[in-house]
Amino acid sequence: MYMTTTAIAPTNIAILKYWGKEPGKEELSIPTKSSISFTVSDLETTTTLESEKRKGAAQEISLTLNGTRKAEVSSEHRYVDGFFRTVARFFPSVSEYDFRIISQNNFPTAAGFASSASGFAALAKALSGEVLEMGNLNEDRLSAIARLGSGSAARSIPGNGGIVLWQRGGSMWKSIAKSLYPHDYWPDLRIIYATTDAGEKKVKSREGMQVSVATNPLYGSWVRYEEKFLKAAMLEALERRDFPALSGLIMKASNNFHQICFGTYPMLRYLNESSFRIIEAIEELNAGGIKAAYTFDAGPNAVIFTLSKNEQETRRALSGIARDIRVTKPGMGARFSDKHLS
Ligand code: 2P0
């Protein structure tokens, strides 16, 4: 007999970046540092999970992503296999099922718009609705489970969404993400996704961050600085809803992250010519006082924070550079849905 569960999870954009796992704790995705993100309304993954008691000796998992059946050797399939294997260490009955996963994003995959975050958050949420053993997981524990699929997925779990802090934690059930302020905490805040390049990125985050931890001589200093100073400063600016102060910190954190990428050997370059043009456009916009902040993840696309009163001006600054502009707001976290994909 089949069971079917569907879950929807949003993506999130980090303003304090996660980039690296503690050596020796990679399988559990224990991060080297804390991170902070905004849960994003409208950019979502919907995942339908079908499970059936395992028929053969080996567990069978099939994965269809955005309408395409993924080969078992594909990186997406291997990540999903790894996720189920690790979850089964904590919930052994997970290995007693065959799974069919159908997953659909409503935004470009793998171009620095965190599709693994929404993807694994939706999968973890759906799994918790299927496997009896996991049925009574609270949200903290579910964020730890989502983390096993992809670190940033932990931050897409909290149902209140909004502004989320993923504490470094250091161990399986302590490294969890919690909503600090709900989605409607800052109603006039706007989050603008500016696409410069919708192609897939060359170096996946998972491999990239491992090389950064292993080769960048300044890696430890970055972790200590951000954990000690930047995190506290951001939490304070968020508490005061101080947009100019927060903006400066967001841009510094983005720059710091890309500095870590540049100092990685071989060098990781996620920004392209258009990314630098966006940085210049935002700097010009801010010349008379801060109106917007940029942040870039492991890809060339920008995410811009602004306030509703400055939205039009910010859009004008981006036009001619970005190919596509999508305006969103802080949103809610993961949830179940009764609209199954087929
Ligand atoms: C973040 N990124 O905090 C940072 C900023 C990209 C740059 O989380 O290996 O896909 O699956 O845990 O979560 C991308 O890393 O990596 C990421 P894994 P993940 O959003």
**What domains can be seen in the chain, in order of their start residue?**
3-182 (3.30.230.10), 189-328 (3.30.70.890)
| 20 CA from centroid of ligand 1 (Å) | 8
Structure tokens at 127: 């799994």
Q: Which element (helix H / strand E) includes 190?
A: strand 189-195
Residue type, 341: L
Q: Is 113 near ligand 1, meaning CB less than 6 Å away?
A: no
Q: Summarize pLDDT for 289-302 with one digit per residue, the tens.
A: 999 999 999 999 99
Mean per-residue pLDDT, 12-39? 98
Cα–Cα dist 53/96, whole Å: 6
CB distance 256 to 226 below 8 Å: yes
Tell me how far CA of residue 8 lies from CA of 49, 112, 204, 260, 267, in angstroms: 11, 20, 24, 33, 35
| Residue located nearest, by CA, to atom 18 of ligand 1 | 150
Q: Summarize pLDDT for 207-236 with one digit per residue, the tens.
A: 999 999 999 999 999 999 999 999 999 999
Cα–Cα dist 340/279, whole Å: 41
Residue at token pair 């949003």: 10
pLDDT at 136: 78
CB distance 244 to 251 below 8 Å: no
CB distance 176 to 156 below 8 Å: no
| 288 CA from centroid of ligand 1 (Å) | 34
* Mean pLDDT estimate for the chain: 94
pLDDT band at 110 (very low <50, low <70, confident <90, very high): very low
Mean per-residue pLDDT, 55-80? 94
Q: Is 32 near ligand 1, meaning CB less than 6 Å away?
A: no
> Is residue 1 predicted with pLDDT exceeding 90?
no
Q: For 20-35, what is the HEC assignment? A: CECCCCCCCCCECCCE
Q: Is 34 near ligand 1, meaning CB less than 6 Å away?
A: no
CB distance 340 to 101 below 8 Å: no
